[in-house]
Every structure is written in C-alpha cells, then in structure tokens.
Amino acid sequence: MTDARTFSSPLDLQSVRADFPILSRELAGGFPLVYLDSANSSQKPRQVVQAIEDHYLKHNANVARAMHQLGAEATAAYEGGRDKVAAFIGAPSRDEIVFTKNASEALNLAAHTLGASLKPGDVVVVSEMEHHSNIVPWQLACERTGATLKWFGVTEDGRLDLSNIDELLTEQTKVVALTWVSNALGTINPISDIAAKAHAVGATVVVDASQAVPQFPVDVSTLGADLLAFTGHKVVGPTGIGVLWGRYDLLASLPPFLGGGEMIEIVRMTGSTYAAPPARFEAGTPPIAQAVGLGAAVDYLSGIGMDKIAAHEHAIVEYALEGLKTVPGLKVLGPTDAADHGGAISFALDGVHPHDVSTVLDTRGIAVRAGHHCARPVHERFGMQSSTRASFYLYTTPEEIEALVDGLEFVRKYFKVD
Amino acid sequence: MQLDNLYQEIILDHYRSPHHSGLADPYDVEVHHVNPSCGDEVTLRVELDGDTVKGVTHSSVGCSISQAATSVMSDLVIGKPVSEGMATYEKFLELMQGRGNVEPDEEVLEDGVAFAGVAQFPARVKCALLGWSAWRDATAQALATQGAANEGVKNA
C-alpha cells in the first residue's frame, strides 16, 4: 500500500544506523526494534558512548576545584563540551552556555530568575501547546509574584493562534515563553516574528527548543530569543544534562538560581557575592561526563550536517503523514502537511485507546509513546485525553514507517474496529 | 509478550460495556483519581451502608485495561463488607505485582483473574490499579466521615 510513494533522503541511512548498535536489537518474539520515540529520548551513537567511557576511564576527576593534573584534564573536557555546544547553536560566547540537569531545569532557572523581578500587574505569556515544563514553572512564578499568566491558543489545524497577539503583547508583558517545535503536534512556530513583537513591548523571550535543536540548524545569534533551553538526551547525547543559552548581558543581570559551590565569588557569614555567568548558575559538581558526551553528540550531528538531518526529517515526516492517511479512522493531531512540521506526529485511532495501540505495537517491536506527552492542555484543546505519538530522527527509515502503518492495521484488526 | 494473555476476551467485554458505569446518586463520597504519567482519569462514587459497600459507580476515560479493571472491581466489592473488598484488593495487587508468577484465586477474584496477563506488562499494571485506588480512597473517606458522625452522636 505504500509502494507508490517515493522517498529520498540526503543521508546514508545504513551508515548512520551502523553507529547506533541498539537499532539492530531484536525484541521479544523475534521482531526487530522499530524505534519511533526519539522525541521522548534519542538513541546514542557509539561515538558518544565511547567519549563518556574514555572520560571516566582516563580523565575522571572533579572540575575547577581539583588542582591536580586529572582535575585540569576533567576541567578542560567539561569546558570543551561548553565550547562545542556554543559553536553548535551559534552562541556568540561560550560564557552564554549554562549547563543544567535537563531542559526542565533550564526553564525553571529562567522562570525563577526572570520571576524575581515580576510583580502584580505584570503578564507572562505562554501558549496552549507548551510542554508542562514550559507551563508549570511560569504558573509557579506567577503564584509567587502576583503576575498574571496568559497564553496563545491553538488553531484547529494545530498552529499557534496569533489573532490576538496585540492583546497578549502589551507593555505589561514581561516574559514571552514559547516552544519552538511542539512535542505533541510537531508544529514549528514562527519564533523570530513573535520575538520581534515581544521585544517591541519590552518583553524577554524564552524559547523551549527541546524539539528544535535536535531537528534543524539553530543559530541563536539571529533567532531573536533572549533565553533558550534544550536537553542533551534528545540530541543523541546522554541524560543528565540540559542547556540554557542566554544573551550574556541578560544572564549577567539575573540573580542566582541554586546556591552552592562554584556559583559564588566570596562567601561571608553575613552574605555572599556571586560569580559571573555561566558559573553563577552552575552550583555544585556539574554533569561533567555528560558535558563530554554532549560535546561528542553535537560533534557527531555536525559531522553529518544539521541541514541534511533537517532534510531527512522533512522527508520522513512527509512519508509518515502520507502513510498514516491510508489508515482508516486515524486522525492526526495538528498540522497534516509536512511544511513547518517537526519530527513528531501524534494521532488518534477510532475505537482503540492510545495505551492499547502502543501495547499492541510494542509486541511487534514498534516503540511509540502513548499518553498526553506532558502536554495535557493541547490535548484538551482538541477534546482528547491522550494520543499515540510516533517520532523520528536521523536514523529513521521509510521501512520503519511502513512497519508502523502495517502495525496500525494490525491494531485495528486485533480490536475488531471497522 | 503474548497479546492474547493481556487482552483476554473478558477484559474486552468489560471494556466495551463496563458495569456500574455512569455516576449515580445517592453517594457518600466522590473521588477523582488520575495516572499522571499517562493521563487516565476516573471519577468514582461510593455509598456505604454501615460497613457494607452498598454502591459503586464510576465515569472514566482511559485504556481498555483501566476501564475493564474498574468495571470488574465494582462487581467484586458491591454488596460485600468493606474488609472483604480490601482483602480482594490485596489479592489483586499481589497478582499484579507477581510478574506472572502468582496463580490467581478465581474464588476471590472472579473476572479479575483475566488480568493475570497484565502482570507481564509492567507498564500496564498501573492501569489495572487505577479504579482500585479510587475505590480504596473513597471508601476510606466514607468510613472516616461515618466515624466522625458516630463520634458526634456519642458526644451529643
């Protein structure tokens, strides 16, 4: 049923997949793994795992505070990760890269520190399509300060509803925090346009780029964001490390987030002064080996080329949207054309609950996500409680999309829907 | 990972036409429980008559396993003493946590034995327990209210 469709990608998928040993795993029942959950967490190439192993086996020590040779090596490795990440996203300075434990912590850091100057009457604007990690920290900041939370709605076709942008962005608006690519709908939002309008009213722009940085080339120097968050484990890097990029002068104006070692200048019992960014926001022993792994990850992606990865994602999404159209009773949430569409597609299948869809697919080796994907409000927007999500990456093949489509046919037969 | 072990016909029957579905009056306590990780939600009402479960009704959104388990749970506890319902829960929990190594007691669990296969799907165990957790919470609250009322009578 899919043979009439064509697929063309600039990537040599066989050689890419050879870098990811897990992709050749066989699962229960002899089914080969079909990993369609990369928006949840990407798989890791050998190069990343080896960099982490090499660090732990040869260079391990604490950073900065350790004065011995290994300490110097570990510090150089950790800071080397910072250099690589800065280059990867076009940051004008390495000091604009703050390492956190994940994207959620990066967004909480933003909400806490920007929140410190919020007051009653101020407005924070988010959107209905945010991941919970870009809603809840702002709700908490508004509760603490008496500021008001407002949000962009979502149109019927899954795009940001900008019709009331002039009501949302006023002189009272202090922060606009938006996702670049929706983790549930796949929608790519026009960040630069909105940022320009937000800046015109004096608001600070925070971007959740968790699903963007893995997918296409990012240049923070031209984007228009003031702060931008993403996580390591979705860019073929390790878990345990996230990134907050910020314009240096903004970071330098923000108060500390967590207190502890390495974030200070001078500590006296009567009060302390704080280090300059990025150290100000990196209290305690940081994710050292993870920074090494993340550095190797962005090197890996750069080696392949983010423009090629973006082109591959586009081709796969187009192929998947076409394939899913052939499944009776399947409704895609959000945009149904591949234009401005990230590498995740959520859908509902008439008569079968998403958990049951995912369990049946799982018994055929196909890994998808089912639930609200930490984006309950956008599901509510579409009158749904949950959905099934298939998400793709640089190693996803058209054959895997066909396995998904065939798997969904099997689900329909198994639950006798027709 | 045999699918038919999970989706027994009994489970699919309960899923398609759940028993005691639709919130009814009168009731003593209403609770709303969710599985935050997946989004399943159940609203459940309990009416006690002394220490007997007089009625349980529910309204829920969720997968086949959670809907069917709530249906079976209602059948198992209605008309029974609270203590017996709680003991049945313990048996059901033991089955769910048994990773497929616990032989279900059909005398006690009745249609609940159909869920034995769920234990082999660790991600789905919480689905089967959602309705039970709502019932236990509502019943505990109803008992506490009753206790407080009796206390009030004694004090009067």
- CATH number of the domain to which A155 belongs: 3.40.640.10
The answer to whether the beta carbons of residues A323 and A109 sit under 8 Å apart is no
Residues of A in contact with B7 (CB under 8 A): 356, 414
Q: Are residues A93 and A73 in the same domain?
A: yes
pLDDT for the residue A1:
45
What are the tens digits of pLDDT across the range A83-102? 999 999 999 999 999 999 99
Residues of A in contact with B6 (CB under 8 A): 359
Within a domain: residue A384?
yes
**Position A29 pLDDT exceeds 50:** yes
At B120, list the tokens: 């082999």
Which residues fall within 8 angstroms of residue A384, CB to CB, at 6 or more apart? A333, A348
**Contact check, Cβ <8 Å, A28/B1:** yes
Q: Indicate the residue among A258, A277, A303 that finishes a domain.
A: A303
Greatest extent of chain A over all pairs of C-alpha atoms, in Å: 74
The answer to whether the beta carbons of residues A80 and A332 sit under 8 Å apart is no
Here the CATH number for the domain that contains residue B43 is 3.90.1010.10
Nearest C-alpha in A relative to B123: A359
Query: Among residues A66, A87, A264, A374, which one is catalytic?
Result: A374
| E strand spans, A221-379 | 227-231, 242-246, 264-268, 271-274, 330-333, 344-349, 366-367, 369-371
Within a domain: residue B156?
no
Within a domain: residue B53?
yes
Nearest C-alpha in B relative to A376: B39
Q: Indicate the residue among A234, A269, A303 that finishes a domain.
A: A303
Within a domain: residue A111?
yes
The domain total for chain A is 2
Within a domain: residue A84?
yes
**Contact check, Cβ <8 Å, B38/A414:** no
pTM score over 0.95: no
Q: Are residues A270 and A359 in the same domain?
A: no
Eight-class DSSP state of A56: I
Q: Which of A121-130, A215-224, A282-291, B91-100 has the lowest mean pLDDT?
A: B91-100
Confidence of residue A261 (pLDDT cuts 50, 70, 90): confident
Q: How far apart are CA A270 and CA A290, in angstroms?
A: 35
End-to-end CA distance of chain A: 18
What are the tens digits of pLDDT across the range B5-60? 888 899 999 998 999 999 999 999 999 999 887 778 999 999 999 999 999 999 99
Within a domain: residue A402?
yes
Q: How far apart are CA A102 and CA A208, in angstroms?
A: 12
Task: Say what the ipTM of the complex is.
Answer: 0.82
Within a domain: residue B60?
yes
**Contact check, Cβ <8 Å, A353/B62:** yes
**Position B155 pLDDT exceeds 60:** no
Which residues fall within 8 angstroms of residue B56, CB to CB, at 6 or more apart? B20, B44, B45, B46, B47, B73, B74, B77, B78, B135
Nearest C-alpha in A relative to B35: A371
Q: Does B48 contact chain A (CB < 8 Å)?
A: no
Q: Does A379 contact chain B (CB < 8 Å)?
A: yes
Cross-sheet strand order for the sheet of A387-391: A330-333, A344-349, A387-391, A369-371
Here the CATH number for the domain that contains residue A367 is 3.90.1150.10
Residues of A in contact with B65 (CB under 8 A): 355-356
* % chain A with pLDDT above 90: 92
Q: Are residues A311 and A249 in the same domain?
A: no
Q: Does B61 contact chain A (CB < 8 Å)?
A: yes
**Position B75 pLDDT exceeds 50:** yes
Within a domain: residue A385?
yes
What are the tens digits of pLDDT across the range A174-216? 999 999 999 999 999 999 999 999 999 999 999 999 999 999 9
Q: Are residues A323 and A280 in the same domain?
A: no
Which residue range forms the structural domain that includes residue B111? 3-147
Q: Are residues A79 and A173 in the same domain?
A: yes
Written as one string, the DSSP assignment of B40-70 is -EEEEEEEEETTEEEEEEEEEE--HHHHHHH
Within a domain: residue B17?
yes
CA angle A224, A228, A234 (to 5 degrees): 130
Within a domain: residue A129?
yes
Q: Are residues A157 and A197 in the same domain?
A: yes
Q: How far apart are CA A379 and CA A205, in angstroms?
A: 25
Q: Are residues A367 and A287 in the same domain?
A: no
Beta-bridged to residue A349, according to DSSP, are A330, A352
**Contact check, Cβ <8 Å, B39/A371:** yes
Residues of B in contact with A353 (CB under 8 A): 62-64
Assign residue A334 a region (left: φ > 0; alpha: ψ between -120 and 50; beta: otherwise): left
Q: Are residues A77 and A31 in the same domain?
A: no
At B75, list the tokens: 């059948």
The domain total for chain B is 1
Which residue range forms the structural domain that includes residue A129? 49-303
Q: How far apart are CA B16 and CA B135, in angstroms?
A: 21
Q: Indicate the residue among A276, A303, A330 that finishes a domain.
A: A303
Q: Does A376 contact chain B (CB < 8 Å)?
A: yes
Residue type, A255: P
pLDDT for the residue B1:
59
Q: Are residues A324 and A260 in the same domain?
A: no
Lookup result for tokens 């699918």: B3
